[in-house]
Structure 1
Amino acid sequence: MGDQAGRVSTSRPAFSILGLEDCVLLFNRVLLCVVVFTSLNGCGGNGQEDPQSSAPLPLPTPVQGEWYSPALGTTWQWQLSGDLNTQYDVDVYDVDLFDVSESHIANLHSQGKQVICYFSAGSYEQWREDAAQFPAHVLGDTLDGWEDERWLDIRDERVLAIMDSRIELAKSKECDAVEPDNVDGYTNHTGFNLTHEDQLAFNVALSDSAHAAGLGIGLKNDLDQIIELVPYFDFAVNEQCFEYSECEALQPFINANKAVFNAEYHSRWVNDETARADLCEQANAMGFSTLVLPLVLDDSFRFSCL
């Protein structure tokens, strides 16, 4: 659950018969390869104290199309563990991609709810059904606070190929959008010398893949890259920006009328009704969809500001 919680080639028709959307996707893939190749600083290392930087490079044009893009004020429930409670009167559920059943998704859809499917894109979780697909050399340091997860070398094409497969799984289950987690590895001790540009390239590639599948996609945390990435993402999922006084960084999503789904865990908002009311007043004034939840996201309690 992480923060909370070379690409495999495919056969394509000749460029001359590609449609406009395919042309944009192909161009984006080529440009992303240039971004990654230019920003590589080696595949080893002992992590980094500060994010590594490289010269700014142009990002590809965002893919255009129709997919789920929730607006400000969208209500939500976030549950990633335990028996799924489908009884909340909300607009959207955010659930674990692997654990949620197709029948649960169908049930939520029958109630008029949208479904966002969570998976970790930047970390390795040994209990996942596709864990054997990750080669050993892409597995880095353990995540702080999550000792059963390891950071991934997001520059390796096989990592992105596995994430493409996860997005296809989300499509096959009829999820409406995806929430890839741990997409800010370049600011952490990963065991790899990841740069700002490496992270941008990976995150934009995830966006392209989701949109090509007809799915919306949310940006999880990664506050330092919001200005660059907001055109590529349809909503934000944030943890603890009020606790750490970081919420102003999410303003670009608010300005774009894209939902900001925010979760807070601190005990003062769990146990103090007056403090929680003050939090909700701030969150509602900013346009956030804020919940106070247990860190393990098991539905053991839930307070909603909307």
Structure 2
Amino acid sequence: MRIRPRRRAVVCPLRRIVSACVAIAVAVPAYGCRVEQLTPPGAPTRWPADQARHWQWQWQVSGTLDPTVDADVFLLDPVATTAAQTAELRSRDRRLICQVHVGSVRSADPDASRLPAGVQGSTGRQPGSRWLDVRRWDALEPVLADRFRLCRGKGFGAVALADADGYASRTGFPLDFDDQLMFNRRLARLARSLDLSPGLVNDVPQLAALAPDFDFAVNEECARLDLCAKLLPFADADKPVFHVEYTGSTDDFCVTTVGYGFASIRKDRTLDAWREACPLP
């Protein structure tokens, strides 16, 4: 009697890799993990010039995300936002921007321990935060690169750089205008290298100098502070200006800001789901 040899199961190595990547995708919780393998295909978010004055946007970094808001663009917290939420928004052709604090670190940030005490300075704008020494690119770049990778891995196509204006505050370091310019330009290049469209939050005094380096601007309260004209280098270049006011009536500021070509909304300072949008031109 002839005995047939038993067939051995063959496991495809690719299947193992895919399974491992899925497991990582579920497990990655925050900034501290490297997520290159999670980066979805695609290019940085495009901002067509012919749509520059016709965006509606939402900025939400607190509370339960409301994906039904009537907006084309969502600016969100990359740690709190899940990949499932970004996938839902992308399925409806929403453009997604992640907010990354590049010039400060909060004690509660998952990657706070990766930043040496020597690069952490005075108390920052947010509770429990400290300014960073932006001259120390060697120490900051690996951490910020991973923050950007988290954004890309979760499906964001753009990144808004917050606290990118420490030189104008008491950071505990002798930062000057040129130190900040160099840091911000390095960040813009880093974002592009990771397939993210870079945008600048506030930093109004440097907007004209940085307009060629960034794709869009995010501004808080230029109407109240009488600074809106300083954002024109972006608007005149057909780059989006996403603007928010926290006080006053849309009847008061929309005429001016929409006239400048900005996408303007009124929000509470908590930046939860509520918003009141200016009408499109």
Question: 1:285 aligned to 2:259?
Answer: yes
Question: 1:238 aligned to 2:219?
Answer: yes
Q: Please give the alpha-carbon distance, in whole angstroms, between the structure 2 residues aligned to 1:131 and 1:280.
A: 39
Find the partner of 2:241 among 250, 260, 268: 260
Cα deviation for residue 130 of structure 1 reads 1.0
Cα deviation for residue 285 of structure 1 reads 0.8
Q: Please give the alpha-carbon distance, in whole angstroms, between the structure 2 residues aligned to 1:72 and 1:168.
A: 29
Aligned counterpart, 1:32: none
Cα deviation for residue 180 of structure 1 reads 1.4
Instruction: Please say if residues 236 and 261 of structure 1, whose CA atoms lie closer than 8 Å, have aligned partners that are also in contact.
Output: yes
Cα deviation for residue 166 of structure 1 reads 0.8
Percentage of matched positions with identical amino acids: 36
Aligned counterpart, 1:149: 129
Question: 1:100 aligned to 2:74?
Answer: no
Structure 1: tracts of 5 or more residues without a match: 1-65, 270-275
Aligned counterpart, 1:167: 148
Instruction: Please say if residues 265 and 293 of structure 1, whose CA atoms lie closer than 8 Å, have aligned partners that are also in contact.
Output: yes
Between the two proteins, the alignment pairs up a number of residues equal to 233
Structure 2: tracts of 5 or more residues without a match: 1-42
Give me the TM-score of the superposition, normalised by structure 2. Answer: 0.80
Instruction: Please say if residues 73 and 259 of structure 1, whose CA atoms lie closer than 8 Å, have aligned partners that are also in contact.
Output: no
Q: Please give the alpha-carbon distance, in whole angstroms, between the structure 2 residues aligned to 1:172 and 1:112.
A: 18
Secondary structure class of the residue paired with 2:127: strand
Aligned counterpart, 2:108: 127
Secondary structure class of the residue paired with 1:258: coil
Question: 1:298 aligned to 2:278?
Answer: no
Distance 1:147 1:90, change over 3 A: closer
Aligned counterpart, 2:171: 190
Give the greater-gyration-radius structure (CA): 2
Cα deviation for residue 73 of structure 1 reads 2.3
Aligned counterpart, 2:19: none
Amino acid at match of 2:258: N
Amino acid at match of 1:304: A
Amino acid at match of 2:255: E
Q: Please give the alpha-carbon distance, in whole angstroms, between the structure 1 residues aligned to 2:118 and 2:60.
A: 32
Find the partner of 2:69 among 88, 91, 105: 88
Q: Please give the alpha-carbon distance, in whole angstroms, between the structure 2 residues aligned to 1:139 and 1:69.
A: 35
Between the two structures, name the one with larger relative contact order (CA 8 Å, sep ≥ 6). Answer: 1
Q: Please give the alpha-carbon distance, in whole angstroms, between the structure 2 residues aligned to 1:72 and 1:185.
A: 30
Q: Please give the alpha-carbon distance, in whole angstroms, between the structure 1 residues aligned to 2:46 and 2:134.
A: 26
**Cα deviation per residue 1:246-302 (whole Å; 9 max; x = unaligned)?**
011100001110000001111x32xxxxxx213111111111111100101012x31
**Cα deviation per residue 1:20-79 (whole Å; 9 max; x = unaligned)?**
xxxxxxxxxxxxxxxxxxxxxxxxxxxxxxxxxxxxxxxxxxxxxx63243232111100
Q: Please give the alpha-carbon distance, in whole angstroms, between the structure 1 residues aligned to 2:275 and 2:240.
A: 19
